[in-house]
Amino acid sequence: MYMITKSQNISEHFHSSEFVCQHCGEIKIDENLVNKMENIFSKLKASKCIISSGYRCPEYDIQIGGFAGRHSEGLAADCVYYDKNGKMIPSKIVCCVAYDLGELNGIAKIDEYYVHLDNRSNGYYHGDEARGNDNYWENPYGYFGVSKEEVSKYTGNKSKPKTIALGDTVIVNGVGTASSTGEGARTINYVNQEMKVIMISGNTSRPNRYALNQYNKGVVNDPFSVTAWFSINDIKKV
């Protein structure tokens, strides 16, 4: 841990003076906290981050909070992130992104937009400061009722549509109507079956269906093959 105590640029988006104790002007801030705040910044594709309170000398921390906490150690900051359109990002979103990054042990919602972030090395703090100073959650998604989709509006981490191409090897879980020469069609429940894509349906009776061959032969109705049609939901590309 390296404590910054001078007025200086710390990182791309932060200057140490933003973390100054508002009561005495002293600067003391953990460089790693700032680096981790930068990681949240970039994950959120934020345009800016405004710090409402960074370092608080013990005297000031006791004065406003009743006890000397992580702010008095230079390990914490209360802040709000702004999106690329200049709008404040809801704190519950920031909590989820900070949680997913897994770098900070102290994450709390302060109000609708402000979060408390701290780089404590022992234990953790998953807070909701509107309620108190306790741990209130294990997983912020469930606690705050946030979906992955809401978060991906900021992070842009949308699950990519799967593209399956002819010749790909895939893993199949699902029921397929299989056929092989001489045996006719029958239903088979495939469990983690490795298969090869031998045909992609282009017609409307089987939209986006994939013919897979169990023995990777690459030919439909090969005498030794079993082929079956599957939807993309049954297929995992390897």
Footprint of Zn ion (CB under 5 A): 21, 23-24, 57, 60, 76, 78, 116
State the minimum distance, in angstroms, from the CB of residue 110 to Zn ion: 7
Q: For residue 149, what are the contacts with CB-CB under 8 A and spacing of at least 6?
A: none
State the minimum distance, in angstroms, from the CB of residue 65 to Zn ion: 8
Asked if 49 and 81 touch (Cβ cutoff 8 Å), the reply is yes
Residue of 194, 178, 175 whose CA lies nearest to 233: 175
Cα separation, 11 vs 8, in Å, equals: 9
State the minimum distance, in angstroms, from the CB of residue 201 to Zn ion: 57
Q: Which is nearer to Zn ion, 19 or 210 (CB)?
A: 19
Q: Which is nearer to Zn ion, 78 or 234 (CB)?
A: 78
| Stretch (H or E) spanning 107 | strand 106-109
Q: For residue 156, what are the contacts with CB-CB under 8 A and spacing of at least 6?
A: 45
Cα separation, 105 vs 98, in Å, equals: 9
State the minimum distance, in angstroms, from the CB of residue 9 to Zn ion: 22
Cα separation, 7 vs 54, in Å, equals: 14
Q: Which is nearer to Zn ion, 62 or 164 (CB)?
A: 62
State the minimum distance, in angstroms, from the CB of residue 85 to Zn ion: 26
Q: Which is nearer to Zn ion, 37 or 211 (CB)?
A: 37
Cα separation, 5 vs 19, in Å, equals: 10
Token pair in block for residue 37: 């705040």
Q: Which is nearer to Zn ion, 14 or 190 (CB)?
A: 14
State the minimum distance, in angstroms, from the CB of residue 124 to Zn ion: 14
Q: Which is nearer to Zn ion, 64 or 166 (CB)?
A: 64
Query: In terms of C-beta density within 10 A (0-12 exposed, 13-18 middle, 19 or more buried), how is residue 225 classed?
Result: buried
